[in-house]
């Protein structure tokens, strides 16, 4: 996801600097090549040796570094970089950046960066973050086109609680990978259902299905990366909500239906990925059903669940609707019929036995022109391709 990306990580003085070591490692796992530049204060918190060992590359700390052939590390380092990320960015460093000071290698490099994008992850005590001078500097940096990541909120190393924590490495990694995605859905609101539903038989037993939620969650992430505001209505799955996606947890199809109907009026796009149970147990018991000699098997009765996608697709002035279909056989015929029955402009199908619980998928897209088969690929890559395809159709 960061393959062929050349990044400069700038590290300034802050206790959060130790987290940047993890971020560097994870970014390299995704294919990035990273040069590290540290301020003098940063080296008080973590040694350059740590970053040299992790990156396998020279770490720069000095404006007058004689190892750089032309002695111009501040120019050289940013020239072929795809982005500079300052993490942690201290109060002092942000003040220097906002005012154009250039008195060490990192600040000089930032001023000399030309068109290279600059992302900064502030990390400081909450009073320092809230100080009017810092807030003025943040505003100025935004106006200058600097991307401010976070900060987060919570317990601080100083013992206080509030805004100013550096984002966690996983969150910064999500910000970094999203930064390189085109903002094809900027300003759009996307509502997505994902995962299975779970229909109670009694307080301890349910009827559910094998959906892992991976595809729906990948689409939520891809839509968020593309600049959309994403709401994910999720059945029970073992996945974390993608970064900056607002998740609403539900259990049954009827809860999913009620939640979708309450959210859909705010949505521009509805992507129905959930494997919704077709029936619920209408005589579910309030107490645990016991095995008895007279009743060898319980007498379960079923009633149909609402068809959420068909109902949303039938709304007057409703969102652009995308359906999904996981089939075990006759994929083309079933999916074509399903698209027409649900009356959606786009339906995405795959073979259930290959896609369920897997990390990759082979999608076939059905629209009124016919169908198009995509090669097997990782679900996040498939999700990004789908988001691009949907954006082109809008
Ligand atoms: N869907 C839905 N509500 C339901 C059933 C399905 O919103 N009660 C949506 C799914 O999220 C998916 C599409 O409809 O986008 C197709 O789901 P699928 O289960 O494949 O289709 P069904 O209509 O249930 O048909 P069948 O189970 O007979 O294949």
For the chain, give every domain's residue range: 6-179, 189-393
Work out the percent of the chain whose per-residue pLDDT is above 70: 99
Local confidence band at 295 (pLDDT 50, 70, 90 cut-offs): low
Q: Which of 67-76, 139-148, 172-181 has the lowest mean pLDDT?
A: 67-76
Q: Calculate how far, in angstroms, residue 330's C-alpha sits from the geometric centre of ligand 1.
A: 16
pLDDT (0 to 100) of residue 82: 97
Q: Which two tokens stand for residue 269?
A: 């796009």
The residue among 223 and 77 whose pLDDT is bigger is 223
User: CB of 307 closer than 6 A to ligand 1?
Assistant: yes
Give CA–CA dist 215/351, Å, rounded. 13
Q: How confident is the model at residue 159 (pLDDT cuts 50, 70, 90)?
A: confident
The Cα 331–Cα 325 span in angstroms is 9
**Ligand 1: which atom is nearest the Cα of residue 341?**
23
Under CATH, which number does the domain 6-179 receive? 3.40.50.1950
Mean pLDDT of the chain: 94
| DSSP-based three-state secondary structure for 112 | coil
CATH architecture for residues 189-393: 3-Layer(aba) Sandwich (3.40)
Query: Tell me: the pLDDT tens digits for 192-208?
Result: 999 999 999 999 999 99
Q: Where are the beta strands (DSSP E) in 46-204?
A: 59-60, 83-89, 118-122, 147-148, 152-155, 161-165, 189-194, 199-202
Give the DSSP letter of residue 294: S
Residue 41 has a pLDDT of: 96
Closest CA to ligand 1's atom 21 = 325
Active site residues: 158
Q: Residue 94 in contact with residue 138, Cβ under 8 Å? A: yes
pLDDT at 1: 83
């Amino acid at each position: 996801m960061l393959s062929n990306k050349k990044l400069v990580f700038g590290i300034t003085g802050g206790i959060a600097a130790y987290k940047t070591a993890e971020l560097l490692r994870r970014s390299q796992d995704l294919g990035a090549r990273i040069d590290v530049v540290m301020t003098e204060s940063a080296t008080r918190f973590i040694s350059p040796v740590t970053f040299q060992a992790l990156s396998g590359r020279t770490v720069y700390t000095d404006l007058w570094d004689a190892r750089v052939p032309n002695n111009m590390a501040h120019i050289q380092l940013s020239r072929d970089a795809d982005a500079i990320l300052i993490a942690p960015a201290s109060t002092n460093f942000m003040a220097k950046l906002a005012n154009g000071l250039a008195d060490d290698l990192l600040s000089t490099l930032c001023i000399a960066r030309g068109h290279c994008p600059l992302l900064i992850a502030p990390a400081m005590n909450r009073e320092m973050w809230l100080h009017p001078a810092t807030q003025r500097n943040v505003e100025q940096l935004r106006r200058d086109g600097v991307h401010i990541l976070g900060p987060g909120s919570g317990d601080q190393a100083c013992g206080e609680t509030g805004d100013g924590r550096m984002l966690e490495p996983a969150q910064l990694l999500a910000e970094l990978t999203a930064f390189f995605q085109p903002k094809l859905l900027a300003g759009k609101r996307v509502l997505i259902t994902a995962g299975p539903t779970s229909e109670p038989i009694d307080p301890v037993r349910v009827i559910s299905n094998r959906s892992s939620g991976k595809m729906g969650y990948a689409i939520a992430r891809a839509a968020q990366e593309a600049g959309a505001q994403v709401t994910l209505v999720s059945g029970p799955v073992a996945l974390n909500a993608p970064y900056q996606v607002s998740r609403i947890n539900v259990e049954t199809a009827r809860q999913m239906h009620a939640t979708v109907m309450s959210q859909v009026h705010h949505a521009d796009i509805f992507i129905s990925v959930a494997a919704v149970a077709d029936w619920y147990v209408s005589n579910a018991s309030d107490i645990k059903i016991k095995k008895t000699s007279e009743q060898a098997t319980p007498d379960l009765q079923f009633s149909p669940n609402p068809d959420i996608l068909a109902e949303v697709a039938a709304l007057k002035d409703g969102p652009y609707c995308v359906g999904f279909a996981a089939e075990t056989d006759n994929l083309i015929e079933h999916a074509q019929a399903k698209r027409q029955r649900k009356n959606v402009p786009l339906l995405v199908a795959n073979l259930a036995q290959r896609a369920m619980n897997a990390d990759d998928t082979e999608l076939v897209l059905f629209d009124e022109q016919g169908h198009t088969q995509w090669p097997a690929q990782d679900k996040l890559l498939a999700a990004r391709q789908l988001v691009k395809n949907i954006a082109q159709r809008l």
